[in-house]
Amino acid sequence: MAKAPVLTPQADDFPRWYQDLINKAELADNGPVRGTMVIRPYGYGLWERMQQEMDVRIKQAGAQNAYFPLFIPQSFLTREAEHVEGFAPELAVVTHGGGKDLEEPVVVRPTSETIINEYFSKWVQSYRDLPLLINQWANVVRWEMRPRIFLRTTEFLWQEGHTAHATYEDARDYAARIHRDVYADFMAEVLGMDVVLGRKTAKERFAGAINTLTLEGMMGDGKALQLGTSHELGQNFAKAFHTQYLSADGEQEHVWQTSWGSSTRMVGGLIMMHGDDNGLRVPPRLAHVQVVVLAIKGDDEVVAKVREVGEKLTAAGLRVVVDDRTDTPFGRRAVDWELKGVPVRIEIGPRDLEAGTAMLARRIPGGKTPVAIDSLAALLPTVLEEDQAQLLRESRERRESRTVDVATIEEAVEAAATGWARIPWADLGPVGEEELAQQGVSVRCLVTKDGGVPDSDDAPGTLAIVARAY
Amino acid sequence: MAKAPVLTPQADDFPRWYQDLINKAELADNGPVRGTMVIRPYGYGLWERMQQEMDVRIKQAGAQNAYFPLFIPQSFLTREAEHVEGFAPELAVVTHGGGKDLEEPVVVRPTSETIINEYFSKWVQSYRDLPLLINQWANVVRWEMRPRIFLRTTEFLWQEGHTAHATYEDARDYAARIHRDVYADFMAEVLGMDVVLGRKTAKERFAGAINTLTLEGMMGDGKALQLGTSHELGQNFAKAFHTQYLSADGEQEHVWQTSWGSSTRMVGGLIMMHGDDNGLRVPPRLAHVQVVVLAIKGDDEVVAKVREVGEKLTAAGLRVVVDDRTDTPFGRRAVDWELKGVPVRIEIGPRDLEAGTAMLARRIPGGKTPVAIDSLAALLPTVLEEDQAQLLRESRERRESRTVDVATIEEAVEAAATGWARIPWADLGPVGEEELAQQGVSVRCLVTKDGGVPDSDDAPGTLAIVARAY
């Protein structure tokens, strides 16, 4: 389809392309309070599907959903010293409620470790109460000085898991399980996103954690995006909130804890990992609209046919929208669905009816072919699985081709202009990390030589992945 | 099972029974900030199932989910005069963010008509953009002076629908459709709750609405609880926010709007409508745990059998939990599941294994019978449907038997001590309504003689349902 570009090309200005896409695909708008966002129905549909797929995996990992209050007494935050230092600059504070000034101001949760520990300390009495595995889906607020929609917003939606265990080992293994079986599995299998699993350096750890596991994705412009984290909290919050249990031996012990989160930031990651100059490309297993059946013209037979095809494909288990809004020109609607990244368009016009065919337009590999209408229900599941695999493959190939092994800080900074660099952590260390930071480059994570997650920062052979990041 | 009462009996002190049940069935705790609540996993499971069932019906009614910001500029609230008057006393205000005092304070949303209209006014241009049908699942904050858990909390969870239509008639019909096809259908079919559908008087209308439709349930103590409302907003918000469209005739017109909400208050209604002195009774179609399979003793064969039965019943499409925590006495676990209101318990001990039977304990009708283990998968769906029907029948019988027709305000007040009264609205009117209010009795809704929803307050034959209410 020859046309003037709808979006600023990625190569011209990647951030502007991102913003254009979000506007034109009707994913989100900026909110009236700086840094907040309105998630529009098509964008929210992506998040709903993420929630569904994540929620299944979280429940399979044994955690149960619950809900803790939005408002946290200011004093709770100060009980864990590193935690308050990390979050204090980002807090929103309610000072006035029900027509009166409050005696103690309350903060709007930036994360819920403190308020959840207040309750864990009541609910956990004995070793029989452990492990306690809780997740919540909620909004959180962190005041953002440099907001960017979906990536850094003052309010965002997320899930946050919080668990308590009897031993260090149990907590460590559970944090690793969430990292691998929930986050990594979801990102590879559903989002079709290649991600690197690693361990954060001390500098990049969550405020209050003893270890942070991360998943980092390479975006279309070669920068990195942190897509989820799973923390070992040790006994830091347990000590601050007196979360103790009576062991089988009759001793009072502090619990060992984890927390882990992933957010609407993943929608931003999806856009920047799979999008192209024509818009978004939604992986079929995620897509809330996998197939759109379009009436090219508004005659009665065509409209009846697209509805019939829509019903058949829905009955075959596909997620389908019928577009018979023929008072809007066909070309404009086709461009709109392309922008929105719906994997498959089925286009039907008067001539197709006679031939019993439809035009099958594929967003992910691109291209159009005529196919027999009767074959669609059997054909499309295979097409969608091919498309899903292609996105994962492309994202892996991009990361592999744009990651280079380097030996010096200068080389690392140079590589980070277009992609990622890998450098032995023993050669870099916290001092080198600080030097990189001054040039806007960060250690995204530490990995083992064979791409695994190291057990500690100083395990021999540990490599640092360094990049510019969102 | 002979035992001391676990809960304060309903007849002794209904509010205390309610609070006891919430604590002992582990549904929720009070939050640290007055009026807030922590929804514990078993309580949240009820809300999750409510969300799932409601969400399907909302989408069938054509609405799409989206998400609008928690923070609303204070100035937005003041644009619709009645709206701000209604909500100003309940607002929580953020005055401080990111380490600084804010130039304009922001309010934490008490409801989203204002912020949503700000965006509707951008998104709606032409009659082709209508109807615009949006729903969001969110938390809202209304500062509560007399909080009661699930019923009146400073923060609660809800869905709020917001729609814009080209004509008065379309908006009116859509508000009625949500009232009937989403709320009433869900409450009768899933919650097994008898509710009266009616119209609010001018005094009880939502702040900013031209008409409010309500669903009122009779609780176990004869008081009323408002379980959901659907409002016609007329053009009030459209005029305040300039939400206009270009009609097919080329004229700029204000849209006609609806909004509608239901919340975690329904969990409180569920407890007070179906609960008894032994705890909650969860309607099977709602229950996230429909069946619990209990090991009476911890021997290996019993534990293996309960797991096997659990798997078979899960495979048969039931929502099942296996309770093999045999380090806790069986009696205590049985009481706990009874408190939590799980419809069916399957209890298996060593003697049952030999006979191939299990004890089937039914929470809703009560009683225990031995049944063949192999017959369970075929038997239970019927049992659960009988139980579902019983709850709806009981709640309808209670309302019918405890509603009386009265002719005077004195009689109405007397009837409201134990139930509801029905009185011709023409005899009561706004003056009588005010007199009732001074005695703590309110007009819950107006209905027609045959139990329908009147088109206006002054339709001939309109009856007022009056009661004490939560």
Question: Which residues, 6+ apart, have CB-to-CB distance to B47 below 8 Å?
Answer: A67, B39, B157, B264, B267
Low-confidence residues of chain A, pLDDT below 50?
1
Calpha distance A316→A292 (Å, rounded): 14
ipTM of the complex: 0.96
Three-class SS state of A89: helix
Residue B32: per-residue pLDDT: 97
Check if the beta carbon of residue B382 is closer than 8 Å to that of residue B344.
no
Flag whether residue A31 sits within 8 Å of chain B, measured between CB atoms.
yes
Residue B335 contacts residue B305 (beta carbons within 8 Å): no
Q: Which two tokens stand for residue A363?
A: 């967003």
CA distances for B119 relative to B71, B116, B123, B132, B162, angstroms: 14, 5, 6, 11, 11
- Rg of chain B over CA atoms, in angstroms? 25
Residue with tokens 């065509």: A302
SS3 for A219-285 is: CCCCCEEEEEEEEEEECHHHHHHCCEEECCCCCEEECEEEEEEEECHHHHHHHHHHCECCECCCCCC
Task: Give the CB-side neighbour count of residue B113, counting CA atoms within 13 A.
Answer: 31
What would the pLDDT profile of A254-284 be if each residue is shown by its tens digit? 999 999 999 999 999 999 999 999 999 999 9
For an interface test with B, the pick among A24, A59, A67 (most B C-beta atoms closer than 10 Å) comes out as: A67
Please state, in angstroms and rounded to a whole number, the distance separating the CA atoms of residues A229 and A250: 35
What fold is seen in the domain B14-274? Answer: BirA Bifunctional Protein; domain 2 (3.30.930)
Q: Does A48 touch chain B (CB under 8 A)?
A: yes
Indicate where chain B has its CATH 3.30.930.10 domain(s): 14-274
B65/A41 CB distance under 8 A = yes
Q: Between A and B, how many CB-CB pairs are < 8 A?
A: 166
Please name which of A220, A201, A219, A221 lies closest in space to residue A211, comparing C-alpha atoms: A201
- Pseudo-torsion of CA A199, A202, A208, A213, nearest 10°? 0
How many whole angstroms separate alpha carbon A286 and alpha carbon A47?
9
pLDDT tens digit at each of 470 positions of chain B: 455 688 999 999 999 999 999 999 999 999 999 999 999 999 999 999 999 999 999 999 999 999 999 999 999 988 888 888 888 889 999 999 999 999 999 999 999 999 999 999 999 999 999 999 999 999 999 999 999 999 999 999 999 999 999 999 999 999 999 999 999 999 999 999 999 999 999 999 998 999 999 999 999 999 999 999 999 999 999 999 999 999 999 999 999 999 999 999 999 999 999 999 999 999 999 999 999 999 999 899 999 999 999 999 999 999 999 999 998 999 999 999 999 999 999 999 999 998 999 999 999 999 999 999 999 999 999 999 999 999 999 999 999 999 999 999 999 999 999 999 999 999 999 999 999 999 999 999 999 999 899 999 889 999 999 999 99
Chain A residue nearest residue B106, CA to CA: A33
Count of other CB atoms within 10 angstroms of residue B33: 22
Whether the CB-CB separation of B316 and B377 falls below 8 Å is answered with yes
Inter-chain residue contact B68 with A328, CB threshold 8 Å: no
Distance from CA of B192 to the nearest CA of A (A): 24
B99: contact with A, CB 8 A cutoff? yes
Instruction: Answer whether B33 sits within 8 Å of A106, measured CB to CB.
Output: yes
3 state DSSP class of B199: strand
Chain A within 8 Å of B72 (Cβ-Cβ)?
yes
Residue extent(s) of CATH 3.40.50.800 domains in chain A: 291-384
CA distances from A306 to A60, A314, A315, A432, A449 (A): 39, 12, 14, 61, 53
Does the beta carbon of A99 lie under 8 angstroms from any beta carbon of chain B? Answer: yes
C-alpha angle A453-A458-A460 in degrees, rounded to nearest 5: 80
> Looking at the partner chain, which of A91, A134, A155 has a beta carbon nearest the beta carbon of B70?
A155
Which residue on chain A is closest to B26 by alpha carbon?
A123
Which among B65, B70, B126 is the top mutation candidate for probing chain A, defined by the most A β-carbons within 10 Å of its own β-carbon? Answer: B70
Q: Using the beta-carbon criterion (under 8 Å), do A32 and B92 form an inter-chain contact?
A: no
CB-count burial class (<10 Å; 0-12, 13-18, 19+) for A307 = middle
pTM comes to 0.97
Distance from CA of B82 to the nearest CA of A (A): 17
User: What does each C-alpha distance from A17 to A7, A221, A279, A394, B379 come to in angstroms?
Assistant: 6, 11, 9, 20, 59
What DSSP string describes A310-369? HHHHHHTT--EEEE--TTS-HHHHHHHHHHHT-SEEEEE-HHHHHHTEEEEEETTT--EE
Long-range contacts of B460-465 (CB under 8 A, 24+ apart): B460/B426, B461/B424, B462/B424, B462/B425, B462/B426, B463/B422, B463/B423, B463/B424, B463/B425, B464/B201, B464/B422, B464/B423, B464/B424, B464/B425, B464/B428, B464/B433, B465/B196, B465/B198, B465/B216, B465/B224, B465/B403, B465/B420, B465/B421, B465/B422
Q: Taking CB atoms and an 8 Å cutoff, what residues of chain B touch A45?
A: 64-65
The CATH number of the structural domain formed by B403-467 is 3.30.110
Answer for the pair A198, A147: CB distance below 8 angstroms, yes or no.
no
From the CA of A58, how many Å to the nearest CA of chain B? 14
CB contact under 8 A, B70 and A36: yes
Q: Report the distance separating Cα B25 and Cα B14, nearest Å.
A: 16
Measured between CA atoms, how close is B446 to chain A, in angstroms? 31
Residue A65 with chain B: CB contacts under 8 Å: 41, 44-45, 48
Q: Do B44 and A33 touch (CB under 8 A)?
A: no
Closest-CA distance of chain A to residue B317, Å: 16
Take residue B315 and report the two structure tokens written for it: 């495979």
Residues 151-210, chain B: which have Cβ within 8 Å of A?
154-155, 157
CATH 3.30.110 domain locations along chain A: 403-467
In CATH terms, is domain B291-384 a member of 3.40.47.10? no
